[in-house]
């Protein structure tokens, strides 16, 4: 609940900033940090996700993220990812991208703790439908002891050149994930 209150505060701040700024958003900026509230439909899990990206130039990126989830059955999971990405400018409004990340997952249960290392791969597209509305879609594959492939669809509204907020939907087999959050662009 605390996370939802913090995210609501961030969204309200973005709305206030947007009302005082008449600037257009930067088109497809890959220098950002984002904070998202995560809701997992299976087993009543929720938590937070922090993601970031840094543009190294020549279409290369450093990407990373941390996700912490708590489930109703007293199971907690923490996933850390770090890796690289590449962006192909596809058109004036859309890019194609891919990322390869090292992932480490830790699962804490009432009786045991587990950890596992693996790889995560994503490929998708990102672009603007209007100067304020960005859409993203990707196919993601995560390989630990078990593999999982999921589809991610997302949209963000740009309140200013440096602040956007939106919704993400992830569809994976028998588990769906919804996130709401904000993205801050630092360059």
Domain ranges for the chain, please list them: 2-185
Between residues 67 and 24, the one the model is more confident about = 67
d(CA 70, CA 93): 38
Average pLDDT over residues 40-68: 93
Residue 23 banded pLDDT, cuts 50, 70, 90: very low
Read off the pLDDT of residues 123-134 as tens digits, 9 standing for 90 and up: 999 999 999 999
pLDDT confidence of residue 19: 41
Read off the pLDDT of residues 108-167 as tens digits, 9 standing for 90 and up: 998 899 999 999 999 999 999 999 999 999 999 999 888 889 999 999 999 999 999 999
Task: Report the residue count for the chain.
Answer: 187
> What global pTM score does this model have?
0.81
Cβ distance 141 to 147 under 8 Å? yes
d(CA 98, CA 139): 10
Q: Are β-strands 175-185 and 32-40 bridged in parallel, bridged antiparallel, or unpaired?
A: antiparallel
Name the CATH architecture for the domain at 2-185.
Beta Barrel (2.40)
- State percent of the chain over pLDDT 70: 84
Residue 8 banded pLDDT, cuts 50, 70, 90: very low
CB contact set of 47 (below 8 Å; sequence gap of 6+): 3, 37, 38, 67, 68, 69, 70
Residue 104 banded pLDDT, cuts 50, 70, 90: very high
């Amino acid at each position: 609940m605390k996370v939802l209150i913090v995210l609501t505060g961030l969204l309200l701040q973005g709305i206030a900033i947007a009302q005082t700024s008449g600037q257009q958003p930067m088109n497809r900026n890959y220098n950002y940090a984002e904070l998202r509230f995560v809701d997992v439909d299976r087993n009543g899990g929720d938590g937070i996700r922090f993601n970031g990206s840094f543009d190294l130039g020549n279409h290369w990126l450093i990407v990373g993220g941390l996700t912490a989830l708590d489930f109703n059955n007293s199971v907690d999971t923490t996933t850390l990812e770090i890796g690289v990405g590449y962006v192909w400018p596809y058109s004036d409004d859309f890019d194609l991208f891919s990322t390869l990340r090292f992932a480490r997952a830790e699962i804490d249960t009432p009786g045991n703790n587990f950890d596992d290392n693996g790889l995560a791969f994503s490929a998708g597209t990102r672009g603007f439908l209007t100067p304020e509305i960005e859409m993203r879609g990707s196919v993601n594959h995560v390989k630990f002891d078990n593999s999982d492939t999921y589809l991610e669809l997302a949209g963000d509204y740009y309140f200013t050149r440096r602040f956007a907020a939106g919704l993400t939907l992830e569809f994976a087999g028998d588990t769906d994930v919804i996130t709401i959050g904000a993205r801050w662009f630092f360059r």
